[in-house]
Structure 1
């Protein structure tokens, strides 16, 4: 009822849906322009979120599910999100592409592991991401997860360790690990003992596991 009653007007045929991601891909490909696809994904994202919260409220608080209320709140949130993006874009300086960083492919036979972390000082929660790509630039693997960290440096160190672990688990032995956390990278490469007690166990584990690669930089 939500999907059909919304501005999307999508009719759901349960018999034809095998996986949510496949259904989403089919809906996404039905849009003709990039702008339409962005707006479509925005609406779908907020409708999914409101359907989920309505489900939780029904299960845990016995609140009735009202499709029209979901449609209204989801549409309003999508509109507010779009307005916020336009407002931010109108106040940001244009990017200087001459100084923008560009991903550089690894040599043939080497896999580049790009890692990154996001950390919240308020909640101490962090998000860790890993992407592995080969010389032609094809994605050969990756991972993403959430965790709790005492600092941004710990989060960055955990992201690097996740990348190392992923490569070892998938028998990838020739790698380049790339991170924008200069302090953590310097500590890993340094011969001296790490002075940061929070990152020390992680850096030592990274150093130890790095010995299992036939080639690593």
Structure 2
């Protein structure tokens, strides 16, 4: 069934149309035999604007003309950019789409955290979380591809994430902890470096802690204390303890009760900085602090 056989639908329930049918402004005669093909230009196969205009008010006509102008402009821009778009490698497109997916996810997560937990949204924290997630995902993906789709069981990844300098004016503080169950004690390592990758300070502490989670929390505490004592106001605290960082970014109640009070102090010290961000990194990007605790 084509446009010559289909009648134009007349909705008799529309209150704005008297008598339940279209009332054209011009001299166009509307009958029950009006067919769909009348509304379409047979040459261009687009809407027959000249036939439809008498049915529309001046405001609607101006709106349609504006839309048609924008559409023509967007098509010309598309045609101009199409060669450049097609020249973009498929791998780069995949990275763009993955970045968009992570961006939407972390923005949605921050909004939910604000609505349900009353946690203030910090745009820089969201950006850092997106950057970390995309970086680690792409590194894992490239490693998977290099090995022909085989997992590296018991092997060191060929392209493990590594430490990178912070954006100025931030100071990156890397912390790590070791813990020994027999003695309920361990060691904490703290490393401060600036945007030019220069070492500012390195510290090593002996600690006592009831569990590994509490030891990781103490590492973050020592990092905050050292950064504050040296007078730095814009810092990025990095740890390879995903649980501790997750608690600081979301809710302290999600973590171990043995680490709760320490993490509470960490969060208080973090709020005292002018700008403070919590960031999780894999061990390969935290090697200097990890070596200090060995």
When normalised by structure 1's length, the TM-score is 0.54
Pair member with larger Rg: 2
Distance 1:109 1:186 in 2: 24
Distance in 2, matches of 1:97 and 1:171, equals 38
Displacement after TM superposition at 1:195 (Å): 5.4
Aligned residue in 1 for 2:272: 212
C-alpha separation in 2, matches of 1:203 and 1:194: 11
* 1:1-217 alignment, distance < 5 Å: 95-98=156-159, 100-191=160-251, 193-194=253-254, 196-217=256-277
Q: 1:209 to 1:118 in 2, by over 3 A?
A: same
Please give the alpha-carbon distance, in whole angstroms, between the structure 2 residues aligned to 1:97 and 1:108: 30
Structure 1 outlier segments of 4+, above 6 Å: none
Quick one: structure 1 residues 94 and 184, their matched pair in 2 at CA, closer, same or farther if it must change by over 3 Å? closer
Rounded to whole Å, the distance in 1 between the matches of 2:255 and 2:184 is 22
Assess if the C-alpha contact under 8 Å between 1:113 and 1:176 holds in 2. yes
Unaligned runs of 5+ in 1: 1-92
Q: Structure 2 CA distance, aligned partners of 1:197 and 1:95? A: 33
Cα separation, partners in 2 of 1:194 and 1:205, compared to 1, 3 Å: farther
Partner SS, residue 184 of structure 1? helix
Q: Which sections of structure 2, spanning at least 5 residues, go unmatched?
A: 1-153, 278-294
* RMSD of equivalent CA atoms: 1.6
